[in-house]
Structure 1
């Protein structure tokens, strides 16, 4: 059988069996709250788009930076007042050596952070992008759905088998 998170065959080294565990929203938020790197997914003008971004969590929302007039900025503007663009955001912490880890998926509308007051409140939360360059536009994802799961290893023949 193949593991959905790693694509590897289950029953790996030492006969350990993969143990999937659904995570509740509180645990998902705890896992992603330190910030780091996640993947933003949306339907862009050239089709499905998935981009890595540095993110932070501020008041329960995912916040990240991009450049003004960048493809991401342009793709995520609807041009319609008060219209919402729904995106997906995934954060993983995988350990290939032990074949363990977790994955969290956040779905919800993305909003441009435009007021100076809002920008000031998120400025300390969002990491400087690894890619460098000028990225002074802040975007915020307000979660409407948060799901996750953890894969751990249990010795073959152990409890729950």
Structure 2
């Protein structure tokens, strides 16, 4: 018997289901914190980000000198966010994949400055806005069956 089975309850039944796209967007919008996955110098990189959802796209700020900025524009990137409740063995995860690029349009930048109130958690100057235009939206929820 493995420790994994014991710690999660031997024979515990879990149910999971795909989340509707509308529910994925609601969870994504409510979270505001996730992970940005992309390829940099031939390797997968995943960094925590704070973001906003606006007009069907996802926006976040980064450093002009960092690996994210140096890797853009790039297709096939993803933003993932989730929530877990280990005490009841439940949680959800949302994954948005698409193309990311630096925001350069002055009107769009002005609009973003009005919406992004929170400072990025990472240190240093984070004044480069990135937009992810989604092409795929998926999500799953898992919970202990009754």
For the superposition of Structure 1 and Structure 2, which TM-score range results when normalised by the shorter chain? 0.7 to 0.9
Which runs of no fewer than 5 residues in structure 2 stay unpaired?
A: none
CA distance in 1, matches of 2:6, 2:90: 11
- Secondary structure in 2 matching 1:40: strand
Matches within 5 A, 1:48-87: 48-77=44-73, 84-87=74-77
For residue 99 of structure 1, report the CA deviation from its aligned partner: 1.4
- Secondary structure in 2 matching 1:138: strand
Match 1:99 to one of 89, 95, 107: 89
**Change beyond 3 A, Cα 1:58–1:18:** same
Aligned to 1:3: none
- Secondary structure in 2 matching 1:144: strand
- Secondary structure in 1 matching 2:14: strand
Which runs of no fewer than 5 residues in structure 1 stay unpaired?
A: 1-7, 78-83, 156-161
CA distance in 2, matches of 1:62, 1:85: 14
For residue 14 of structure 1, report the CA deviation from its aligned partner: 9.7
1:152 aligns with 2:143: yes
Confirm or deny: 8 A CA contact 2:31 2:81 kept in the other structure. no
- Secondary structure in 1 matching 2:120: coil
TM-score, structure 2 as length reference: 0.86
Higher helix share: 2
- Secondary structure in 1 matching 2:65: coil
Matches within 5 A, 1:118-137: 118-126=108-116, 127-137=118-128
RMSD: 2.2
TM-score, structure 1 as length reference: 0.79
Which aligned runs of 4 or more in structure 1 are off by greater than 6 angstroms? none
Query: How many pairs were matched up?
Result: 142
Higher strand share: 2
Aligned to 2:132: 141
